[in-house]
Structure 1
Amino acid sequence: MVATTQVHGRTTAIPGLHVFSVSKVGDDRGWFQEKFHRAKLLDAGLPESFRVVQTSVAFNKRGSTRGFHAEPWAKYISLVDGSAFGAYLDVRAGATFGSVVTVELTDETAVYVPAGVANSYQCLTDLHYLYSVDEHWSAAAYESATFVNLADPDAAVEWPIPLEEALLSDRDRSHPMLAKLP
């Protein structure tokens, strides 16, 4: 029998937010991994409605911290290498508004983030961050997103690298607090 990537999923306290373990298969030469295998992911909990239209990769330096961004599209996130701390904040109206889920991200972890859930991450090493979305990126769509300050006291995320020592964009530093959202 040929060894192949195994995928297992779990639900979280935020409805629709799924965390997947995606194994690697290796030998003395190196390793192989199916980063996105639709059939296996569907069996593990990926919503049938998620259809990838764009995949992007970002290189981030250790300490880089991005977010909270709740874009109007769903996304599937994984790391090519390195490790990160992911924090997800539900900004959708309803009983779970303000709920936070944190996940340790490695090259064997993936996260499905539904539209309306804010995504953020802090790089614990230099890394390549791979993400696939179900809508094409556009400046207009991005500007319609909901943004929340990474230091929001209501979200109360305990960042592994204190935000004062992390690398943040001026824009991410200036996002509003959760209580100020319309």
Structure 2
Amino acid sequence: MQIEQTALAGVVILTPQRFGDDRGWFSETWNAARMAAAGLDFAFVQDNHSMSGAAGTLRGLHYQRPPHAQDKLVRCTRGAIFDVAVDIRRGSPTYGHWIGVDLTAANGKQLLVPKGFLHGFVTRAPDTEVQYKCTDLYAPDSDGAIRWDDPAIGIDWGLSAAPILSAKDAIAPLLADFDSPFVWEGAE
């Protein structure tokens, strides 16, 4: 597995190796022992799977606050997405900064989004499926969102038209109105 660090400490791109033959291919997308040896020690407890029918569907920017904060390992198993992580750890030198990665069924890349980061994605193809593992169970009382188009964050989603949004995402607050429960605890 190729492990690539990003400009946001803790956010990592994982590219599993694919082994192919005339039947197709096989890929190990997570191996707890190998990942722990590489410094990525996560105990995933919930798997999620979403399907978005239309290209231009935007989900995010989401987080789950403590005590139910989640680390997420995200991959696209059909179609294509532009996947985004935003640092929301108070005191972090990269607070409000974002990175984006193209995750497709073809490239097999995965994005590891740790606690203390917003997560969101926009679909680039119709009938796109996204699967992600989480280190805590979904807790509605801990669920939150920040505006996908917050000018203080300035994400370039690569959209040519308005995205398709949920009602929750359409009215999410701005980062400036958010009192982050996440605190930066390390050197970068």
**Bin for the TM-score computed over the shorter chain:** 0.7 to 0.9
SS of equivalent to 2:169: helix
List runs of 5+ in structure 2 lacking aligned partners: 180-188
Asked if 1:34 is matched to 2:10, the reply is no
Greater mean alpha carbon deviation, residues 26-35 or residues 66-75: 26-35
Name the counterpart of 2:170.
173
Distance 1:177 1:138 in 2: 22
Name the counterpart of 1:3.
none
Distance 2:26 2:109 in 1: 15
SS of equivalent to 2:77: strand
- The letter of the residue matching 1:111 is L
Deviations 1:99-126 (A, max 9, x none): 1111111231111111110001001112
SS of equivalent to 2:173: coil
Structure 1 residues 95-106: aligned runs within 5 Å: 95-106=93-104
Name the counterpart of 1:89.
86
Distance 2:128 2:18 in 1: 17
Distance 2:95 2:161 in 1: 23
- From the superposition, tell whether residues 88 and 39 of structure 1 become closer, same or farther in structure 2 (CA, over 3 Å): same
Check conservation: 1:35, 1:78, Cα contact below 8 A.
no
Name the counterpart of 2:184.
none
Distance 2:39 2:75 in 1: 16
Distance 1:124 1:141 in 2: 29
How far 1:37 moved relative to its partner? 2.0
Distance 1:122 1:114 in 2: 19
User: Percent identity between the aligned chains?
Assistant: 28
Normalising by structure 1, we get a TM-score of: 0.86
Deviations 1:12-37 (A, max 9, x none): 12121111112322222222122222
Name the counterpart of 2:159.
161
- From the superposition, tell whether residues 157 and 163 of structure 1 become closer, same or farther in structure 2 (CA, over 3 Å): farther
Name the counterpart of 1:57.
49
Asked if 1:80 is matched to 2:77, the reply is yes
How far 1:44 moved relative to its partner? 4.6
Deviations 1:88-145 (A, max 9, x none): 1111101221011111112311111111100010011122111111111122232xx3
How far 1:161 moved relative to its partner? 2.1
Name the counterpart of 1:131.
132
Aligned positions, number: 170
SS of equivalent to 2:168: helix
Normalising by structure 2, we get a TM-score of: 0.83
Asked if 1:67 is matched to 2:60, the reply is yes
Asked if 1:20 is matched to 2:14, the reply is yes
List runs of 5+ in structure 1 lacking aligned partners: 1-6
Runs of 4+ in 1 over 4 A off after TM superposition: none
Name the counterpart of 2:120.
120
